Structure formats: C-alpha cells, structure tokens
Amino acid sequence: MNAVETNDLGKRYGNAWALRECTLAIPAGHVAALVGPNGAGKSTLLNLVVGLAAPSAGIVTVLDGQPAGSAAALDGVAFVAQDAPLYKNLTASEMLHLTRNLNRNFDEGYAKGRLRELGIPLDRKAGKLSGGQQSQLALSLALARRPQLLVLDEPMAMLDPLARHDFMATVMAAIADHGLSVVLSSHVLTELERVADYLVLISHGNVQVAGVVDDLLARHRVLTGPAVEADSYAERLNLVHAQRGEAQAHMLVRIDARTGPVPPGWETHPVSLEELTLAYLREPDAAWLPGPGRALRLEPTEVAN
C-alpha cells in the first residue's frame, strides 16, 4: 500500500502557488525524505498530507486511500511540526496526559520509558526544557501514538549532533519494531543518505525528483572526460548537470533504455545522494519522475471531523 498518494496536488495562497502539479506515490514501509531549498513547498506539502491545509487543486490521500485530515487519517498519522510545538506551560507529564486523552492509542509506558532514558524530567514545564529535549518530547508523544505514518517537518533543526543521532536512532528503531512509514523534510543532506530510501525533491513548488533512492542512484552516473566533447554528448546522455574546467568536465547523467554507450575516453563514477540532489537543485528544469502508475479516485473530499 502507499503511505502517501497525491494526484496533481496544488496549494495556492492568494495568487501564489506554493505547490503545484504534485503527483506522488510514496510506498509504505519506507523513509521518504523531502528535500529542497527554503520556500520550495516542503512544509506546504507536509501540511497537506497531515490535513492542516486543504488542497487548492488535486487530491491527497494517506494510508491506502484515506483522505488527508479525515478521522481515519488523523488516527493513523502522527505529525511533529517545525519547532516541535508543545504547550509551554504544561509539564511533560501533562503533555503525556493530554496526548493520551486526545488519541485512541497511546502507549504511555513507552513514552515514559523514553523520557526517562533521555533524562527529561516529567514534572518540568515543556517551555523550560532545552530545544533538543522539546524535540525529543514531541517525538516521543508522536511515536507513543503508535502511528502508521510519522510525518516530521525539519525535525532536527534544534538538535546537536549527538541529539540528532539519538533522534534518528529512535525513529529507525520504531520502524524496525512496528513497521512505521516516515516522511520527513530536511536540509541536512548528508544524514539523509543513511536514512532515506525514497527521495522527493521539491523546488519552487514543483516536484523535480520522486523515486526510490536505490533506483535513483542506479540510474545516474557522473561521467568525466574532455570538456570540449561535453556539449556534443549532453543531449544523448540525458545530462542533468555539468561542471566544467578548462580541460575536464564532469557530467551527471541519467541512464535509461535509450541512452547510448559511454563515449570512449570518458570515465564513469557512481553518484552519491548528496551530489545528485545538489545537481538537480542547480538545474530547476531537470526532472526525474518515474510516476506512480496507479489511478487515483478524483472526487475531492473536505476535511472531516
């Protein structure tokens, strides 16, 4: 099943489209990373997925076809927004109580255990915790709901490197234990490589790249060769982005069935996720969208409940 499906999804604020023509199918059981520059539309897409915003065009469904924001979706989807919003004047223990009262499933033992391990005192007001502790508290609350889909918006912005590691370790362990799907947006490309197996690249409100990371990396190469020949091969080799020196050029190319062989005298190298992401971000017109291939129902439904 698909954790998230969108069909021609768009969101407009006033006259400006924050997101448009977004068609995605993120399979369940994966960690999907949403990457892109500031203002690209990442938060907009996440808000649409969790039902905080309603589409201006198209539809978005979660967990195998539930309309985003519907009662079933709210039950199965947990969201930690940017800056980990918490009620600052409630203690950690009261936040647990609150979350328990607002949800059908809540594993209070798990939440308390995690907070104890992290050294977060239950009787301290949330506003008095450090930024990292607030993020961890918000994550613990979300995970204790035992969601099927966890959505994180820039979850690690306030965390130091050790805290970032612990945060991700917690999320990954939850996936191993409960088969959770995760969609997270992030700036930090290097960490995504370890964690993400599905990539969505958004730039200027448009989805540039959407696909399984392994496929993505398998289908791209960097070719290194004489700069003078670079232009003549660019078209044939599906050039995404080129870096040139006087004599030498590197071309990041996309391989498909129609691509010709590597020109003689050129070397090939595999590509890292970071390199690939940066290349696409530098070339707004380039795109790689293998397509979801599944027809979606087209009746829009408004936010229920």
Partner 1 sequence: MAWVTWRQHRVALAGVVALFGAAAAYLLVTGLPIHDAYAAVAGCRPTGSDLCNKVVNDFLRTYAPGVGVTFGLLQAIPALIGAFAGAPLLAREFETGTFRYAWTQGFGRTRWTVAKLVPLAVAVTIASAAFSLLVSWYVQPIIDAGDNNGPLYPTLFDLSGVALAAWTLAALAIGLFAGILVRRVVPAMFATIASWAALAFVTGAFLRAHYLAPVVTSNTNIPTGAWIINQGWFKGGNPASLDLINQTFAPVDVRALTPDLFQPGPATPANLGDPVQYLIQHGLTHWTTYQPAGRFWTFQWIEGGWLIALSLILIAATVWLVRRRAA
Partner 2 sequence: MTIDKPPRPGGSELASAAARRPASPIAFRLDPASGVPTYLQLVQQVEHALRLGYLKPGDQLPKVRDAVASLAINPNTVLKAYRDLETKGLVAGRPGQGTFIRATLSRVALPELAELRRSLLVWLATAGAAGLDEDGIVALVTSALRDLREPRGEREGVA
**Number of chain positions touching partner 1 (CB under 8 A):** 35
* Residue 116 Cα distances to 9, 178, 222, angstroms: 42, 21, 47
Q: Does 169 bind partner 2 (CB under 8 A)?
A: yes
- Residues of this chain, 184-243, that bind partner 2 according to CB under 8 A: 190, 193-197, 217-218, 221
Q: Which stretch binds partner 2 (CB under 8 A): 15-23, 34-42, 52-60, 263-271?
A: 263-271
Least separation in angstroms between residue 231's CB and partner 2 is: 19
What would the two tokens of residue 48 be?
């649409």
Is position 233 an interface residue for partner 1 (rule: CB under 8 A)? Answer: no
Give, in degrees to the nearest 5, the angle at Cα 98 between 96 and 103.
95
Nearest to residue 186, comparing CAs of 50, 81, 33? 33
- For residue 21, how many C-alpha atoms fall within 13 Å in the half-sphere facing its CB? 8
In terms of CB distance, is 262 or 296 closer to partner 2? 262
Q: Of how many residues is the chain composed?
A: 305
Q: Which of the 8 DSSP states describes residue 91?
A: B
Distance CA 243, CA 50 (A): 39
Q: Tell me the closest approach of the beta carbon of residue 209 to partner 1, in angstroms.
A: 25
279 and 252 in contact (C-beta within 8 Å)?
A: yes
What residues make contact with partner 1 under the rule CB under 8 A?
13, 47, 50-54, 71, 74-75, 77-79, 81, 83, 85-88, 90, 94, 97-99, 101-105, 138, 145, 302-305
Q: Which residues bind partner 2 (CB under 8 A)?
A: 29-31, 116-119, 165-166, 168-170, 172-173, 175-177, 190, 193-197, 217-218, 221, 255-257, 259, 261-262, 267-268, 270, 272
